[in-house]
Amino acid sequence: MSPRIASCLFFAAAALTGSAALAQTSNAARSPWSVGAEVGPAWHHDGSYLPFVRNSAATPVAGLFVGRDLAHLGPRLTLGAELGWRTANAQGNVRQAFATTLTTHGVQAALTLRVEMLSWLTPYARVAGGASYLDASVEDGDGGTLSGGAWAPYGSAGAGVMLTSGRWFDGIGAHTLRVAVSVEGGYQYVAPTAIAVSQPAPADERAASDRVASQSTALGTLDPSAAYLRVTVGFRF
């Protein structure tokens, strides 16, 4: 083998070894588990959602998540999985007279693909899927409340960047504990869902049995799909 070819092979092997070392020794990769909280707005665009928001305001979303790295797919790529719970609360009115509330609870599973760019900087892409329970209520003209709900499947896709701290907790023996902050933007598609509300049954069993059954009132088909901004704060360990 000529010295020139041997030199090329040596430098190529050194470059691959260095890249692999970067993936394995980055702050995020050293700490495969993650837990945290998320907050952020969601911007709903469909007209069916307007009765549940005031002045077309963004809906606040909050949640919790836990994640785990699954595999290193290359010298700079890491595949991870995540489980999470999210909730959102929107309030508005119908015909400027009847107050409305829509509370959403969702559970989801997600896959993330991280690019180990720097020891502290990690761009990533994320896809998620799950189901949401849409709990709607409307005040009726007599001062009572009509309520109802339905389940809806959803999926989302987004991209963001994660910042991971260094070894801040070595002094207490937590050598893999890191603080992680991320900012992500994307779009969430929720299957359009028919919502109907009715008067809730009285808590007293005798009163409930004597009550004349009331028919539900259809609110129509709700499309809660939205663009979102997701900000997370948590720990990796």
Residues in CB range of 207: below 8 A, 6 or more apart: none
Predicted local distance difference test score (pLDDT) of residue 161: 98
Confidence at 11, pLDDT banded by 50, 70, 90: very low
Predicted local distance difference test score (pLDDT) of residue 219: 82
Predicted local distance difference test score (pLDDT) of residue 4: 53
Span 156-161, mean pLDDT? Answer: 98
Q: Give the total number of structural domains in the chain.
A: 1
Question: Does residue 180 register a pLDDT over 90?
Answer: yes
Span 198-227, mean pLDDT? Answer: 73
Question: Does residue 206 register a pLDDT over 80?
Answer: no
Tokens 């539900």, residue? 216
Span 31-36, mean pLDDT? Answer: 97
Question: Does residue 202 register a pLDDT over 80?
Answer: no
Q: Which residue has the higher pLDDT, 236 or 217?
A: 236
Domain of 78, CATH number, reads: 2.40.160.20
Q: How confident is the model over 37-46, as pLDDT tens digits?
A: 999 999 999 9
The pTM (predicted TM-score) of the whole model is 0.81
Span 72-84, mean pLDDT? Answer: 94
Q: Which residue has the higher pLDDT, 17 or 100?
A: 100
Strand partners, 230: 184
Which of 100-103's residues contact partners 24+ apart within 8 Å by CB, and which partners? Answer: 100/51, 100/52, 100/136, 100/137, 100/138, 100/139, 101/52, 101/136, 101/137, 102/52, 102/134, 102/135, 102/136, 102/137, 102/222, 103/135
Question: What one-character DSSP code corresponds to residue 171?
Answer: G
- By residue range, what is the domain housing residue 207? 3-236
Using CA atoms, how far residue 37 sits from 86, 187, 201, in Å, is 10, 19, 36
Question: Does residue 68 register a pLDDT over 80?
Answer: yes
Question: Does residue 22 register a pLDDT over 50?
Answer: no
Predicted local distance difference test score (pLDDT) of residue 53: 86
Closest CA to 175 of 236, 117, 99: 236
Question: Does residue 54 register a pLDDT over 80?
Answer: no
Predicted local distance difference test score (pLDDT) of residue 16: 39
Closest CA to 232 of 101, 33, 36, 46: 36
